[in-house]
Amino acid sequence: MFKQMRAEWYKVFTTKTWMGIVLAAFVFTAMTVFGYVQIAGTLGIPTLEDVRLMNLLYGGSATGVALALILGVVGATAEYRYGTVDHTYLVEPKRSRVLVAKLVVHAIIGSLVGLASFGIAFATTTAAVSGKAHAEVSTSSLIEIGLATVAAFAIYTMLGVAFGSLVRNQLVGVAATFGWIFIFERLMVVFTPDLGKWLPGGAVNGLFGVTAIMNGQEYLPRNESALLLLAYGVILIGACLIVTPKRDIN
Amino acid sequence: MTASSGTLVEVKNLSKVFSRGKEEVRAVTDLSFVAKPGRVTGFLGPNGAGKTTSLRCLLELVTPSSGLATFNGQQYSELENPAKLVGVSLGFTGLHPGRSAYKHLLVYATAAGIEEKRIDEVLELVGLTNAKNRKAGSFSTGMKQRLSLATALLGDPEVLILDEPVNGLDPEGIVEIRHLLRNLAAQGKTVLLSSHVLSEVQQTVDDVVIIAKGKKVKQCTLQELIEDTRPVIHVVTPTPEKFNSFAGGQVNLAGDRVSIYDTSLAKVGNFAFTNNIELHELSEELLDLEQVFLELTGDRNV
């Protein structure tokens, strides 16, 4: 298993694809934080002196989890797009081992990207509110937000790998991911909030515990959100581990 | 059979039916053959004959509908470290365009637990040392084919399975691959290669398995296939009708041209001399192997 994990690590870092995705996640995070600081106190958004907004800023990378999902989808579908899946399963015909290695490696990478994204959110927030009156966020809250960021990125990257392994077509996988996150989930959260909070995106918001202030939507508490995300992970990863080993690779 | 005496590849009653909606497509039907150690076996057939599907079934990338394929009695997924026993090249696909040749090999060497120094050895073997840091996306088809072969050779395997290995290679490359494969077979390795063009691999293979429409139509040595060929003697003469009385072979007349099967130059020459026939041409079509191949695979309108 360790050999497979090393090979999966090399697969990610011997091309430059990951750089673009991770950079996009960082830019997304910084822009989100910067944007909220600029419009704080307007459009129904609380001022910087409201600790709920400060929590939201430090959790600004919540919007970047979409890119974590893309990272996983691309990691899995690239094998099929370029046909490298042949060699992958020829070296290790027990496909579930390869999938577990891929999931673990992507979870590690997702965690690291999540940690870095939290660092960017923290640095951007600190810089953006500098010299302005703002509420102080407790160290324990910061730690909770940091852990939520790492967990959300890790789980979303794994969900991406599982989804990508099931879909196999990269274009379809990426398009479906964007469509789900930026269209379907957004609409569900706005128009059917009671359902929206049960979706993965709603669970991420609940995990961060920061965005309920925006539209009055109450998400699930942090622990329940974490469990909900894990449940999505178990279902999707389970489906991937059952289906993928049985499929023909033509 | 132990590893030192080579690895026998055996395909037994292999069939594969794909379901496309309500339609069933029978790609391979009851295919059986063996590829022996120390020999190069050509797995031949026209495009769409079922060669690639058969090889993928053999390697368990595709699950057969029935039958099985084994390596010294073990199925591919049962092999302890398959990359060290079976090297595979499924053509010039399977390369990430953004990954260099060296790093491509590094990924699979790592997964198979093969030492990194072996990467330089296989790059040297296939003549890609100077291009090892170039990305596969910038490679020509021939270079991609070589890199795919290098991947197959990484584990110094007992068995090599190569799908259309000379596709896209220039004549020099074909000769190099031929020498390499002959050399590997001489070391006792089992080489199974597919091709849709017999003439491309004619000088490489010892044995042939010919399939058409998913079914085996012949398995024999190349020599036996050559012996199946029918020599044709071509004659050009102003009096072709005089050859109607030739009893030593099957005669076909077409204008001033006479084609005589199942005979020899000496017999025809002697007949012409004895019967005082004026000849403008007397020649033999020495090797008609491709035509035999096409007849077997049903690709020739005869």
DSSP line for A137-176: PPHHHHHHHHHHHHHHHHHHHHHHHHHHHHH--HHHHHHH
Q: Which residue has the higher pLDDT, B227 or B158?
A: B158
Q: Report yes or no: B76 and B82 within 8 Å, Cβ to Cβ.
A: yes
**What whole-number distance in Å separates Cα of residue B68 and Cα of residue A23?**
48
Q: Report yes or no: A134 and A44 within 8 Å, Cβ to Cβ.
A: no
Comparing alpha-carbon positions, the chain A residue that sits nearest to B148 is: A87
**What whole-number distance in Å separates Cα of residue A96 and Cα of residue A244?**
8
Å from B252 to nearest chain A CA? 47
Percentage of chain B lying above the pLDDT 90 cut: 53
Predicted local distance difference test score (pLDDT) of residue A134: 84
CA angle B258, B259, B263 (to 5 degrees): 125
Q: In the sheet that B257-261 helps form, which strands lie side by side, from edge to edge? A: B250-254, B257-261, B232-236, B281-285
Q: Report yes or no: B187 and B44 within 8 Å, Cβ to Cβ.
A: no
The confidence band for B262, taking pLDDT boundaries of 50, 70 and 90, is: confident
pLDDT of residue B301 exceeding 50: no
Q: How many helices (H) and strands (E) does chain B have?
A: 10, 13
Comparing alpha-carbon positions, the chain B residue that sits nearest to A8 is: B107
Beta bridge partners of B259: B234, B252
Q: Tell me the whole-structure pTM to 2 decimals.
A: 0.83
Mean pLDDT of chain B: 88
The burial of B254, by beta-carbon neighbours within 10 Å (0-12 exposed, 13-18 middle, 19 or more buried), is given as: exposed
Mean pLDDT of chain A: 88
Do the chains contact at B103 and A94, CB–CB below 8 Å? no
Q: Which of A39-53, B33-47, B164-178, B220-234 has maximum average pLDDT?
A: B33-47
Burial code (b: 16+ CB inside 10 Å, e: under 16) for A96-135 equals eebbbbbbbbbbbbbbebbbbbbebbbebbeebbeeeebe
Predicted local distance difference test score (pLDDT) of residue B3: 42
Q: What is the dihedral of CA A202, A208, A209, A214, to 10 degrees?
A: -70
Q: Is B113 on the interface with A (CB under 8 A)?
A: yes
Identify which of A14, A11, A135, A114 has the alpha carbon closest to the alpha carbon of residue A59. Answer: A114
HSE (side-chain half, CA atoms, 13 Å) at A63: 21
The DSSP result for B155-182, as a single string, is: T--SEEEEESTTTT--HHHHHHHHHHHH
Identify which of A171, A174, A148 has the alpha carbon closest to the alpha carbon of residue A160. Answer: A174
Predicted local distance difference test score (pLDDT) of residue A223: 87
Q: What is the pLDDT of residues A56-97, one digit of tens each?
A: 888 877 778 888 999 999 999 999 999 999 999 999 999 999
| Chain A: residues touching B (Cβ < 8 Å) | 3-4, 6-7, 10-11, 14-17, 78, 82-84, 86-94, 246, 248-250
Q: What is the pLDDT of residues B70-99, one digit of tens each?
A: 999 999 999 988 999 999 999 778 899 999
pLDDT of residue B254 exceeding 90: no
CB pairs under 8 A between A and B: 83
What is the gyration radius of the CA atoms in chain B, in angstroms?
24
Return the residue matching tokens 């005082």: B276
Residues in chain A, pLDDT under 70? 190, 210-217
**What whole-number distance in Å separates Cα of residue B171 and Cα of residue B152?**
21
**Chain A residues closer than 8 Å to B98 by CB:** 15-17
Return the residue matching tokens 């003439």: B199
Predicted local distance difference test score (pLDDT) of residue B300: 44
**What whole-number distance in Å separates Cα of residue B50 and Cα of residue A50?**
69
Do the chains contact at A93 and B106, CB–CB below 8 Å? no
Q: What is the pLDDT of residues B169-221, one digit of tens each?
A: 888 888 888 888 999 999 999 999 998 887 777 888 999 999 988 888 888 89
pLDDT of residue B116 exceeding 50: yes
Q: Report yes or no: B176 and B205 within 8 Å, Cβ to Cβ.
A: no
**Chain B residues closer than 8 Å to A84 by CB:** 94-96
Residue B59 three-state SS: coil
Do the chains contact at B63 and A84, CB–CB below 8 Å? no
Q: Is B93 on the interface with A (CB under 8 A)?
A: yes
pLDDT of residue B123 exceeding 90: yes
pLDDT of residue B57 exceeding 70: yes
Distances from the Cα of A242 to the Cα of A22, A107, A165, A227, angstroms: 30, 20, 11, 22
Q: Which residue has the higher pLDDT, B263 or B31?
A: B31
Predicted local distance difference test score (pLDDT) of residue B302: 35
Q: For B117-121, which contacts have Cβ atoms below 8 Å and span 24 or more sequence positions?
A: B118/B154, B118/B156, B119/B154
**Lowest-confidence segment of A145-149, B122-126, B226-230 by average pLDDT:** B226-230
Distances from the Cα of B98 to the Cα of A12, A14, A146, B104, angstroms: 11, 8, 33, 10
